Every structure is written in structure tokens, then in C-alpha cells.
A and B are shown apart, each in its own frame.
Chain A
């Protein structure tokens, strides 16, 4: 794999290109610096809804033709929205980058927001939200964030509040699109079997001519320091067992403490394990799952543009109360604050980090995703320098960061308790369904 190329066009568009010739595949990502962070009450969920609308076509790329074109090239594509950004990505056999470069330049400027499409997508997005509401853990996550942030828009869920989804207008969405889908607010990442010079020329051919556009609205609303524990309780039927989640205020991705924070997360649940559940040798696993208090447990540090949170969570084992789970979690956190992590334990987590960076290069699509996710919240080189920054951290720095971040006065604790005890499903014949 070659060294990455970084470039910024006159209109502000940032570009990261990385040749990788291990497989005859290329990937192209376009990231926009817009997510629920850029929303206010009344239009929460706008960024995510706009993401859906970018699949509705442009005059040159009508709706049905978009998916067909990508798939007939043997490609896959999708998009997602987070609190900080919205990303659109394609992966396809080598040689087809010019098509997707043109497609993304077109979608940046000319997406149609037909009122009828906005209308049918409203119910789709409300259905997406209702699917999330079916999960008590997802609902609790929303409650915890809304309590942890009083001022900063990180308090809004990415999907948006339901009342806003019902009320938002086509013009709200179009205005949001026009405000944020600008070259100066975007980043391109391409990785794969190509010649970087050629791809750069292809990108410049279509993106250079797009005007820089108006300034991107700034986000106001710095979160004031939290001065005491906050607690939320979600109580409704539909769940089988209690869930406990915690959120501690943490520095932004660009803070020099991010590498130590990532290692702290690794000590708690294994490095980079957030989606896979805790590693079995990690502290949270041993204290909660191995001791029979929880069916699963984990922690996560998502690098964020503004100061975010460290998350800790567990699903109580049937018959175990939320308070016992919370107590065991707090014991783990107190221990990591109270004493330096033994060298062999830190070495184990650093080794996990090293391995993760090797695995990350297996597959251009995932690699470009990791590069972009860091670039959007820090700077374009951030992901590439992360391994050496992590390697330089010692146990005293991990303890210092644990002491500062995992402070009880800065935490929000959320419990989900099944209402009316543990509900049970009832079965019957579907008389109403033909």
C-alpha cells in the first residue's frame, strides 16, 4: 500500500487518495460535515432525511437509474448519517471510479426534492424510527444523550424526534441540503487499485467547477460543565430485562488525550470492540459477564468533532437487578481510576490496537471508512498517525485520563426497567389479515 495523497481544491474540497493494489477493487466516499450536531429543535432528523433524499435522483441521474447503474457495474453503495457527518460510499470493481465521481458531484448540487418524494419518505423515516423504538436499549440510548447534553445539539437523536419528523417541510429539508452540501464542507476519500494522479485529475475535472458557496453555518452551544450525576429512568413494557447505560463527558477527537482515551476504552472492553461486545479478558467482561451479573457488557469511545461521551453499557442477566449491575460497573471504573494499569495489560491492549490497524487494511471499503471518520472530526492525516500516537502512551497517562473523564460528577446513568415486571408476548390467529 502506497502513502496517502492529500489535496485541497480552491473551493475548499478536501481529498484523500490511497492506492492499494491488493485486489481489483476501488472505493469512493464523500463525507459532508453535517449531522444531528447541525440541527435545532423543530428540524431534528433533517440531516438523516436529506441523506435519504439523495437516493431520489437528479435530472441527470433519475431515481431508478442510480441503483441500477452502480449494481450493473458490480458495485454496492449506501450511506449513513451520524451526529457529526453524513457519508455516501460506493465499492466496485477497479476501473469504474469516473462514474461514481460524476454521480457524487451531481448529487452534491442537483438532488431533486420532489414534494411527493418528500411525502412518501416521511412515512419511511417514521417507520425507521418506530423500528428503533421497538428496542428498549436504543430508546435508553436516546434518553441518556438527551440528559447528558443540556445545550449542545449532541442531545438530539440522529433519526430525529417524532414530532419533528411529522412536521418538517420540504423547504426545511431543501434549505438544509443547500446550506451544507458544499465543497468546503466535504471530504473525498478514494482507496483502491488506481493511479492516484489519474483519479485526482478525474476529481478535479468535475469538482473544480463547483463554486465554494456560502459559508457553512457554525454550531453554537458549548455544553457547560456537568456538576453532578444525572439519572434517567425509562420504564415501559416491551423489554425482558434491565439495561444500564452510562455516559461520561469526554474530550473531542482532536484533543491530544484521544489516544489515551482509546486505550482506556480498550482496557475496559478490548480495543475497537464496540460493536462486537467486550473482549473476554477485558475488565468489564470479567466483572459483569463472567461474574454472572450481565449477559453482555461493553464500552465505546466514538471520536467526535466536539466534546462527546465515553459510553459504558450492560444487559442485566435475567433475575439480576439494575443496581447490582451499576455497582459492578462503578467498581471497574473506580479501579481503573485508582491505580495504574499493569504494564502487561496495557501491552495486551496495545497489541490489539496494532492488530486492528493491520486488519483495517484488509479491504479498501472499510479502510476508507476509517480514514474518513477520523478526518471528519480531526484532520485528514489523523487516522494515519493514530498508531504511533497510541504506541507512545504510558500507564500514567491512561490513569490520568481515566481520573479526569470517569468522574462521577460528570456521568449520566440510565436504567431501562421493564414496566409491570417482565412482559410476555401473546399469540393469536391473525383474523384481521387476509
Chain B
């Protein structure tokens, strides 16, 4: 069976411009929709925290809390009066600003987004408010079994200092001590046109969009020197696991909980690694496809142990975690771990069946149309293409890329899932 989904977004439909400042702009015209989706990606994620986990998130959360021209409340009123949205999503490698506005407000919406991106003021009273919100969120996260298990897993699977070893929610001491000047300095170093990708998908003609974007952001020229993309070498660390560490198991007891959440696995590959597609297909078959792949079939469907049970690989510029996760009754943790490991071993030994391979390929190729259905879906796909330098014709090449991955390559990738030297973190009620 072959479902060709290409033609949804071809290279000639994507208008790409590079401003002299290094800002990259991609637009797609969707006439008649009456709206635009904006997707801004800045290489200013937590991997650039330089050993201060939480700093990048703090900066991202401050973007809409007052600029050199407008107070936090004035910005909120402008955005809400347009009925527009602009969410700030701090990540490990990049910070994303994503939202939607009506076409009739396009220029005002863009102006507002540009202002929060380029000119946040970090007013001390707003810094204090955001600090309080972040500290509360962090305390809530620390009592969350899924978060606690993930945080422990990262410590076990990645060496100290590695960007992926950091607690995703940051550290209390960092958030408590961050001040306006330090936040502004991080912004000045990392929020730069050369580190930014702007995607606009919607009911605006490409030339008109580009003219407005050039007028709004063409003059963006931050003072001083920025970091290069790879200057945070210390934060990169080695890509492998944590060699020589004896203890690769950890339990976290949190009173008042009914369920235990577990995270088991190791380290994936980077998005640009030659083995990326094989690993992605292996992950799909082992723990995503259908009712969550072989692991879900065994743990949930056959044994009835978990409501959720899946395998996931995070691959960015850095190789991220490759983990199996499940939420189970505390009495069933050992059985679940055994079942996951047995499935991973068996998959590595046998490789995919012919029908599993066909299912996985057809799903990835066929589901492109659904992925690209919305403005935001297209914008996210374009952001990934530009961030990882995949080329404007990537979506046209994608079916051939997927169909070229062999069963042998998938089996070889599956064998890399750690079944002996794995890290395991479990968070749940005290025994």
C-alpha cells in the first residue's frame, strides 16, 4: 500500500528570505483562511544555561513581561484586544514563540511579537513576579511523579554538566538568585537575528509579509557580541551515557501518591546522525505504533499493567534521551520493567516483521497530510526543516527517505536500545 502525501507543501510554495542580519524568514501563503500562524524559533534554550539550570526559561518567561516601550499589562491588553495568542515555549535547544492572529491584525500582531522578541526590559517588579511563579511551578513539578522520574533518569543517563542531564524545570537556587541584569545579559547574548528563524503561514501574500517583516525586524541589531551557536561547549558534553557510574537505578518516594511512573533507557542519536531514521522507525515499532507498539501491546494490552506505556526518542542537534515510560501500580514496577526489557531484547534479536515495516513506513508517509493540515502544523514542520537544515524540498523527499530505511538498519538501531546498561528511575509512593 502506498499513500503519497507529497504535494501538500512543496519547495516552490515556501518563500525563504535571509536578511543581512542573518534572520531567516519562511512564509507560506494560505489565501482565504483569514488568519496567520507565527512560529519563531530562537537558539536560546536551556542548553545555553551554562550550568545555571532554569536561566533560559526565566528569560523566555520574561519576554512578555514588559518591553522598553510597553508595560506587561499594556502588552497583554494589546494581544488580547486582537484576540491573538502568543505562547512562549522554552525548550532545551530553542525557545519557541508560537501563536495565531487574524489577518486584519497582521501588522500589529507582528509588531507586538517583534517587540517582545527583541526589546524585553526585564523590569525588576516583573522579575520578582515571574520568580514566584517559577518557584511554585518547580515545587509542584518536584511532587509530580512523572517529572521526578524524568529528572532522575536524566541524571543517570547523561554525564554531569551535559545539557540533557539538567533538570528540565530548572533549579531553585538559580531561579531564586537570577536578577534583571543577568537575565538581560543572557537575552543580549542569545536572542540575535542570526540565531532566529521566523515562520509565517497564513492569509498574507508572501511579498507583503516579507516587506512587513523587513520593516519590523530588519533593523534588529543587538549590542555587543553574541555566543556562537556552539560556544557552550561545556554544556554539550559527551554524547554517550555516564560511563563508570555504578549506580544507574534510582527510586524517588513521594508520599500521597497512588501510581509509580518509571523511565528506562539510554541515549538516542542526534537529528542529523545517519542512523536517525532507522532509530526513529525502530522506536515507532517498539513503542509508538498502533496501541503504542510492541511495548504497549505487551504491557498494556496483554498484561493490563499500565494505562500509558510507550517508547520515545528525542533527537535534536544533541542526542537526547531514548526511553520507555510507563505509569503502573507500585506493585507492578518490576514486572513492567521485565516486560519492557524482554520486548526490547526480542526486537533487537528478530528485527521488524515485514508487516510492521510496511505499517510504519505507510504511517509516516501517509500521515504527512494530517500533520500539515493546520497553519500551525505547517509552521512547525518548516521550523524543523530550517533548524536542522533539511532543505526546502525535504517534505517532497521524505517518502523516499522513509522507504529507503531497511529492515536490517532498523534491527541494528533496535539493538542499540540499552537492555543491560540502562538507566532506570522510578517515582511513586513510599514502600
Verify B430–A130 contact, CB threshold 8 A: no
The residues in A between 87 and 109 inclusive whose CB is less than 8 angstroms from any CB of B are 91-94
Verify A365–B373 contact, CB threshold 8 A: yes
A158 interfacial contact with B, CB 8 Å = no
Pick the interface stretch among B43-51, B266-274, B327-335: B327-335
Chain A 155-179, CB-CB to B under 8 Å as 1, else 0, gives 0000000000000000000000000
A433 interfacial contact with B, CB 8 Å = yes
A126 interfacial contact with B, CB 8 Å = yes
B124 interfacial contact with A, CB 8 Å = no
CB within 8 Å for A280 and B366 given contacts A123-B305, A317-B132: no
A295→B143 CA distance, assembly (Å): 16
* Contact partners of A2 in chain B: CB under 8 A: none
| Contact among B8, B132, B256, B430 for A236, CB-based, below 8 A | B256
* Contact partners of B5 in chain A: CB under 8 A: 74, 93
A404 interfacial contact with B, CB 8 Å = no
Verify B142–A425 contact, CB threshold 8 A: yes
Pick the interface stretch among B160-168, B243-251, B388-396: B243-251
Q: How far is the CB of B206 from chain A (nearest CB, A)?
A: 18
B411 interfacial contact with A, CB 8 Å = no
Q: How far is the CB of A159 from chain B (nearest CB, A)?
A: 10
Verify B430–A429 contact, CB threshold 8 A: no
Pick the interface stretch among A65-73, A182-190, A301-309: A65-73
A290 interfacial contact with B, CB 8 Å = yes
* Contact partners of B247 in chain A: CB under 8 A: 429
Verify A348–B3 contact, CB threshold 8 A: no
A35→B371 CA distance, assembly (Å): 30
B290 interfacial contact with A, CB 8 Å = yes
Chain B 302-342, CB-CB to A under 8 Å as 1, else 0, gives 11111110000000000000000001110001100110000
Verify A355–B143 contact, CB threshold 8 A: no
| Contact among A63, A92, A290, A354 for B73, CB-based, below 8 A | A290
CB within 8 Å for A74 and B76 given contacts A134-B257, A428-B250: no
- Closest residue of chain A to B145 (Cβ to Cβ) is A134
Verify B304–A425 contact, CB threshold 8 A: no
A392 interfacial contact with B, CB 8 Å = no
Q: How far is the CB of A385 from chain B (nearest CB, A)?
A: 19
* Contact partners of A134 in chain B: CB under 8 A: 144-145, 257-259
A145→B304 CA distance, assembly (Å): 29
Give how many A residues have a beta carbon under 8 Å from the other chain's beta carbons. Answer: 88
B406 interfacial contact with A, CB 8 Å = no
B350 interfacial contact with A, CB 8 Å = no
CB within 8 Å for A351 and B306 given contacts A74-B5, A74-B367, A75-B366: no
The residue among A63, A127, A363 with the most chain B CB atoms within 10 A of its own CB is: A127
Chain A 379-401, CB-CB to B under 8 Å as 1, else 0, gives 00000000000000000000000
A113 interfacial contact with B, CB 8 Å = no
* Contact partners of A91 in chain B: CB under 8 A: 370, 373
B187 interfacial contact with A, CB 8 Å = no
B242 interfacial contact with A, CB 8 Å = no
A292 interfacial contact with B, CB 8 Å = yes
A122 interfacial contact with B, CB 8 Å = yes
A315 interfacial contact with B, CB 8 Å = yes
A264→B77 CA distance, assembly (Å): 17
* Contact partners of A7 in chain B: CB under 8 A: none
The residues in A between 120 and 167 inclusive whose CB is less than 8 angstroms from any CB of B are 120-131, 133-136
Verify B374–A124 contact, CB threshold 8 A: no
Verify B256–A430 contact, CB threshold 8 A: no
Verify B139–A430 contact, CB threshold 8 A: no
Q: How far is the CB of A366 from chain B (nearest CB, A)?
A: 8
B381 interfacial contact with A, CB 8 Å = no
Verify A433–B129 contact, CB threshold 8 A: no
CB within 8 Å for A25 and B373 given contacts A237-B256, A423-B254, A430-B426: yes
* Contact partners of B431 in chain A: CB under 8 A: 432
B118 interfacial contact with A, CB 8 Å = no
- Closest residue of chain B to A94 (Cβ to Cβ) is B369
The residues in B between 345 and 374 inclusive whose CB is less than 8 angstroms from any CB of A are 355, 358-359, 362-363, 365-370, 372-374
CB within 8 Å for A72 and B249 given contacts A270-B80, A317-B133, A363-B373: no
A289→B250 CA distance, assembly (Å): 36
B83 interfacial contact with A, CB 8 Å = yes
Verify B430–A358 contact, CB threshold 8 A: no
* Contact partners of A121 in chain B: CB under 8 A: 304
A229 interfacial contact with B, CB 8 Å = no
* Contact partners of B368 in chain A: CB under 8 A: 74
* Contact partners of B372 in chain A: CB under 8 A: 23
Interface size grouping (class) on chain B: 35 or more
CB within 8 Å for A348 and B303 given contacts A75-B370, A295-B132, A355-B102: no
CB within 8 Å for A73 and B426 given contacts A295-B137, A426-B253: no
B82 interfacial contact with A, CB 8 Å = yes
| Contact among B76, B140, B327, B430 for A131, CB-based, below 8 A | B327
Verify B257–A433 contact, CB threshold 8 A: no
* Contact partners of A195 in chain B: CB under 8 A: none
B30 interfacial contact with A, CB 8 Å = yes
* Contact partners of A135 in chain B: CB under 8 A: 144
| Contact among A122, A355, A429 for B304, CB-based, below 8 A | A122
A233 interfacial contact with B, CB 8 Å = no
| Contact among A23, A122, A133 for B258, CB-based, below 8 A | A133
The residues in A between 327 and 378 inclusive whose CB is less than 8 angstroms from any CB of B are 348, 351-356, 358-359, 361-366
| Contact among B83, B253, B308, B355 for A356, CB-based, below 8 A | B83
| Contact among B145, B257, B370 for A76, CB-based, below 8 A | B370
A296→B136 CA distance, assembly (Å): 10
| Sample (12) of A-B pairs whose CB atoms are under 8 Å apart | A71-B359, A121-B304, A127-B305, A127-B307, A241-B136, A295-B132, A315-B140, A348-B80, A352-B80, A419-B256, A427-B152, A433-B426
Please report A residues at the B interface, Cβ cutoff 8 Å.
22-25, 55, 63-64, 67-68, 71-76, 91-94, 119-131, 133-136, 236-241, 270-271, 276, 279-282, 285-286, 289-290, 292, 295-296, 315-318, 348, 351-356, 358-359, 361-366, 419, 422-430, 432-434
Please report B residues at the A interface, Cβ cutoff 8 Å.
1, 3, 5, 7-8, 30, 32-35, 37, 64, 72-73, 75-77, 79-85, 87, 100-102, 128-129, 132-133, 135-137, 139-140, 142-145, 148, 152, 247, 249-259, 289-291, 297, 300-308, 327-329, 333-334, 337-338, 355, 358-359, 362-363, 365-370, 372-377, 424, 426-427, 430-431
* 6 more CB-based (< 8 A) A-B contacts, given A72-B366, A365-B373, A427-B152: A71-B290, A73-B3, A73-B362, A74-B369, A281-B73, A318-B139
